Structure 1
């Protein structure tokens, strides 16, 4: 920062609100070395996050919300310190995670369709529409074979 420019500090509550990570998660991430060490306010002892820490926290929050596990977060941060030298490894990390997420999305789509078909089945049963019930049953069976 340039001389005379005030440092922006964030409390744990502000960091939590901005990132969507809970306060216990922020403390845990500090404990396991994903962030930190976090400076403390000398008068209160409360954590104070600077802009660089907030940038890291927001990146971790985004990756975590996409389902990346802690070991993946740790690997991402390790590779980040190596910069462009680790570009291929970063690409591999994100590609593998994207592939896992894609498979999970496909499974969720199947489950969503299953729920819709079951609702359709029970709607037909409620109406006493045996023809509609007979039409939906094979679709449910075919769908469950794809799980």
Structure 2
């Protein structure tokens, strides 16, 4: 539900959760650890009311969280928004580091996928009664298993 709070639109924690993709518990946690500032409360109900600027910032945090970015990196992101002369370089480094992290995750996922595909091939060969096929796949599985470690 959207209401006006001093001329600015504000949303409830439920709506903020829907907008940002962050759970209500995560929103409360981010407030508790200071990632987001104190959230004003509705005077009559005591419920949190997120204003326009907070909504935009929390939407951005939701996107960063969806990429797997750490809380510390999100803190840095918010700190680098201050417009310092070196902010652009710091932001670039932050995002390049996270691109590298994602690339490593993708590579690990490819190894896992390869291992599972080989295991499926092994069981398909066993199902067909193809002993030669099984014997051909076993060394590949062993090699793929090494990549899982």
Aligned partners of 1:128, 1:49: CA distance in 2, in Å? 63
Gaps of 5+ in 1: none
- Write the mapping of 1:97-136 to structure 2, written as runs, cut at 5 A: 97-136=98-137
Aligned partners of 1:43, 1:36: CA distance in 2, in Å? 21
1:17 matched to 2:18:
yes
How far 1:8 sits from its partner (Å)? 1.7
- Write the mapping of 1:1-147 to structure 2, written as runs, cut at 5 A: 6-82=7-83, 85-147=86-148
Out of 22-31 and 131-140, give the one that drifted further.
131-140
TM-score (norm 1): 0.89
Q: Which has the higher strand share?
A: 2
Aligned partners of 1:108, 1:26: CA distance in 2, in Å? 29
How far 1:9 sits from its partner (Å)? 1.2
The count of residues paired between Structure 1 and Structure 2 equals 143
Secondary structure, counterpart of 1:8 in structure 2: strand
Aligned partners of 2:126, 2:72: CA distance in 1, in Å? 48
Secondary structure, counterpart of 1:9 in structure 2: strand
Aligned partners of 1:60, 1:135: CA distance in 2, in Å? 48
Gaps of 5+ in 2: 1-5
* Cα distance change, pair 64–92 in 1 and its aligned pair in 2 (3 A): same
TM-score (norm 2): 0.88
Out of 13-22 and 134-143, give the one that drifted further.
134-143
Out of 110-119 and 136-145, give the one that drifted further.
136-145
